[in-house]
Amino acid sequence: MVEFDSPQLNTLFQALADPTRRGMLASLALGEKSIGELAAPCDMSFAGASKHVKVLEDAGLLSRRKAGRSHICTLEAAPLAQAERWLRQWEQFWNQRLDRLEALIERGKEEKQNG
Amino acid sequence: MVEFDSPQLNTLFQALADPTRRGMLASLALGEKSIGELAAPCDMSFAGASKHVKVLEDAGLLSRRKAGRSHICTLEAAPLAQAERWLRQWEQFWNQRLDRLEALIERGKEEKQNG
DNA sequence: AGCAAACTAAACCGATTGGTTGACAGACAT
DNA sequence: ATGTCTGTCAACCAATCGGTTTAGTTTGCT
């Protein structure tokens, strides 16, 4: 059966459930960023944004290295890939449903034409 | 740019962040289930499990119909597909990283041979 | 040495979460 | 009619979350 009791997935999905953090990931996809650069567009205190960064780090979604007094963050995509793999388990299921829906629509058209 | 400020994704990932709820989804993938059937393996009060079902329902992940005194739940895969689509945005990014990693490993091998 | 910049840590706050129990409602059986 | 089964709702609780402010640390600048 499908594996669902995974602390990894807990923290991962939890981290992804916040728009501020998803925004940070999107920003990181364009290249490495310091905490300050990640925090700038966030419309909240610096410390607040820094906590979001920590959540992402704890979820394994970013790594950081120190460069002078700045902390440079890099997107770590592996956990995203894991989440995607988990979601893909349902692909067959929802394709079936879509096929059924399509068939239903098709049948509706025919009835309209014939009736 | 990537779209990240989506209330849909907030509730969706939030709903997926709990192992009890992921377990319910897995159970639902095998077929329709009553609330009682979903709650049975949950090791918590009936009302507690019922609240989890409601979270999944609010996230659009399941729909229910009443049959006598039972509520029958059906998995709704569309939101899962949406989440998967969102995650797939990073596919190119992490493939790049994997390629770079692979190149690094390859270079390591060569150096071992030549040095 | 002294000050500013880039962060983290800790204490605090209100709102939400995940769970409980107990009371209630609707549908079925006798 | 009474009781039972399935499920919701409301109240409550501790813990976590998302945010703040204040203080402290490390690094760089002059």
- β partners of residue B25: none
Protein-to-nucleotide distance from the CA of A3 to the C1' of C20, whole angstroms: 28
Q: In terms of residues, how long is chain B? A: 115
Residues A57 and A44 sit within 8 Å (Cβ to Cβ)? no
- The per-type count for chain A, helices as H runs and strands as E runs, is 6, 3
pLDDT, residue A98, reads: 63
Distance A20 CA to C18 C1' (A): 24
pLDDT tens for each residue of B45-97: 999 999 999 999 999 999 999 999 999 999 999 999 999 999 988 877 777 66
Q: Point out the least confidently predicted range of A108-112, B17-21, B94-98.
A: A108-112
Cβ distance of A83 and B78 shorter than 8 Å: no
pLDDT digits (tens, 9 = 90+) for A67-93: 999 999 999 999 999 999 999 888 777
Predicted confidence band of residue B102 (pLDDT cuts 50, 70, 90): low
Q: What pLDDT shows up at residue A26?
A: 94
